[in-house]
């Protein structure tokens, strides 16, 4: 019942508020995209258009309030790459031959991500809003992780048995690993102890999901994200102590069954199971499709439709977001898609290396975004799920921080120019 009241209150109350302040509609849209109320509380929340209602209200409020600020500053390359990727997908859909309806359906699903992304990066104009977005993402994903953990410890591994929201265990693990890095560094930047512990608790719950979900790709991504996080943390004893505690908790959560499952990643070729070997063969076939259709691919969401031409069952996914994207929309489209994430990491790294920042929160967000994208990039290498919303929202957070940091720096420069020059000191009397 609480889930139903929560869903209705945010849907209809949030839709009204969004018309006057679309930023709040943005936060609710992000929350619903992660928790998927009709899946999280499936026993009480009926199937409905909750995200669509909020999304329409958000876009309407965005339009009524002037479409925000489109001066992206240092975030311009990120926005350009997203629009180029989306535009190339449309071009590929125009040329799709096997099933145009499937191709345009994929375009529609990505449009539902691109439009809120643009709304967010134009509406977020302060450090306070940056923090609110980060907290909504962490709390929403953390609550989902808590619910899956609760079911697991109650004796029912819901993730493995049923998946969540039309996603399987591997797909859910992508979002968990991605936001785990975000949650860890959000906690590292918090000065309030209870909020810091809340972030660390959410991160621990998220890290545990790929473990009991038996997602080898997710487990590998957790380890690599941990290594990257070690190099990103501030070089202070207290931060190293928190990191050491996080590592110990991770080792405690990984039981014998998890370690045994993960160890199969590194066995010799002749000892690999069918799942691991089939992935390598799928990737080779996807690359062959890319070579044969280098410009616009075979069409959005089309690899599963032609997989049987390579001897696979019909609708067989490629189990790699990168290879399947290349097969679907060609080398240029794949380049825009990879560049969207890679350029974000590079710009955040450049921001992090600056000797002086207008606010320490920009360094914290840079660490969050880099760790989250690394976790996503690794885990998504084993799953075909480019319509997962969370990684886009993480990039939006990073792009917004770059834009706001540029405005802060410009304001600081103008302030120094307008300040009066110091008066010369009077010469000493002879």
Q: pLDDT digit string (tens) for 111-157?
A: 999 999 999 999 999 999 999 999 999 999 999 999 999 999 999 99
pLDDT for 426 equals 46
pLDDT at 83 over 90: yes
What residues form DSSP beta bridges with 167?
Answer: 164
Instruction: Please determine, for residue 217, whether its predicted confidence score (pLDDT) is greater than 90.
Output: no
User: Per-residue pLDDT tens for 160-200?
Assistant: 888 888 888 888 988 999 999 999 999 998 889 999 999 99
Q: According to the model, what pLDDT value does residue 1 have?
A: 73
Q: Quote the percentage of the chain above a pLDDT of 90.
A: 60
Distance CA 295, CA 424 (A): 67
Closest CA to 38 of 52, 56, 23: 52
Confidence of residue 380 (pLDDT cuts 50, 70, 90): confident
Distance, in Å, from the CA atom of 397 to the CA atom of 390, rounded to the nearest integer, reads 11
Number of other residues whose CB lies within 10 A of the CB of residue 77:
17
Q: Is pLDDT at 275 greater than 60 in this prediction?
A: no
Q: Tell me if residue 167 falls in helix, strand or coil.
A: strand
Contact 137, 179 (CB under 8 A): yes
pLDDT at 48 (0 to 100): 86
Q: What is the pLDDT of residue 314?
A: 86
**Measured distance CA(363)–CA(368) in Å, rounded:** 9
Strand partners, 164: 167
Of the given ranges (81-85, 168-172, 196-200, 388-392), which has the lowest mean pLDDT? 168-172
Mean pLDDT (whole number) for 336-346: 96
Q: Label residue 63 by pLDDT band (50, 70, 90).
A: very high
Residue 202 pLDDT > 70: yes
**Band of pLDDT at residue 270, cut at 50, 70 and 90:** very low
Which pLDDT score is estimated for 428? 45
So where are the chain's domains? 1-67, 70-407
141 DSSP 8-state letter: H
Q: In angstroms, rounded to a whole number, what is the distance separating the alpha carbons of residues 90 and 104?
A: 8
For residue 164, the SS3 value is strand
- H helices present in 213-320, as ranges: 216-232, 237-253, 256-263, 274-292, 303-306
Backbone angle region of 68, left / alpha / beta, with phi > 0 → left and psi within -120 to 50 → alpha = left
């Amino acid at each position: 019942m609480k889930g139903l009241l929560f869903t209705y209150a945010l849907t209809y109350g949030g839709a009204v508020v969004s018309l006057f302040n679309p930023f709040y509609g943005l936060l609710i849209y992000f929350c619903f995209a992660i928790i998927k109320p009709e899946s999280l509380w499936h026993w009480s929340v009926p199937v409905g258009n909750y995200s669509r209602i909020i999304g329409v209200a958000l876009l309407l409020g965005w339009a009524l309030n002037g479409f925000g600020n489109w001066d992206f500053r240092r975030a311009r390359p990120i926005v350009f790459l997203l629009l180029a990727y989306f535009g190339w997908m449309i071009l590929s859909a125009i040329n799709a031959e096997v099933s145009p309806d499937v191709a345009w359906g994929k375009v529609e699903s990505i449009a539902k991500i691109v439009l809120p992304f643009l709304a967010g990066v134009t509406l977020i104009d302060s450090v306070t809003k940056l923090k609110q977005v980060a907290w909504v993402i962490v709390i929403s994903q953390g609550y989902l992780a808590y619910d899956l953990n609760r079911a697991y410890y109650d004796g029912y591994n819901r993730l493995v048995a049923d998946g969540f929201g039309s996603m399987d265990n591997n797909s859910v693990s992508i979002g968990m690993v991605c936001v785990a890095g975000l949650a860890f560094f959000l906690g590292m930047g918090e000065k309030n102890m209870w909020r810091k512990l809340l972030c660390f608790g959410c991160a621990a719950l998220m890290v545990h999901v790929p473990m009991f979900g038996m997602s080898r790709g997710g487990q590998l991504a957790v380890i690599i994200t941990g290594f990257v996080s070690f190099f990103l943390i501030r070089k202070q004893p207290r931060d190293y102590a928190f990191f050491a505690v996080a590592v110990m908790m991770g080792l405690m959560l990984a039981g014998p069954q998890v370690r045994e499952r993960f160890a199969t990643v590194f066995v010799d070729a002749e000892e690999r199971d069918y799942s691991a070997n089939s992935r390598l063969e799928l990737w080779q076939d996807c690359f062959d499709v890319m070579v044969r259709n280098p410009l616009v691919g075979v069409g959005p969401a089309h690899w599963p439709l032609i997989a049987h031409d390579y001897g696979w069952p019909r609708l067989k996914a490629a189990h790699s977001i990168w290879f399947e994207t290349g097969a679907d929309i060609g080398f240029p489209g794949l380049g825009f898609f990879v560049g969207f994430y890679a350029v974000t990491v590079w710009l955040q790294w450049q921001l992090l290396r600056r000797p002086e920042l207008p606010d320490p929160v920009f360094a914290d967000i840079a660490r969050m975004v880099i760790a989250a994208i690394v976790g996503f990039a690794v885990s998504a290498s084993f799953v075909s799920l480019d319509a997962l919303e969370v990684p886009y929202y993480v990039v939006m957070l990073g792009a917004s921080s770059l834009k706001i940091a540029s405005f802060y720096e410009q304001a600081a420069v103008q302030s120094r120019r307008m300040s009066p020059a110091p008066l010369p000191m009077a010469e000493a009397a002879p």
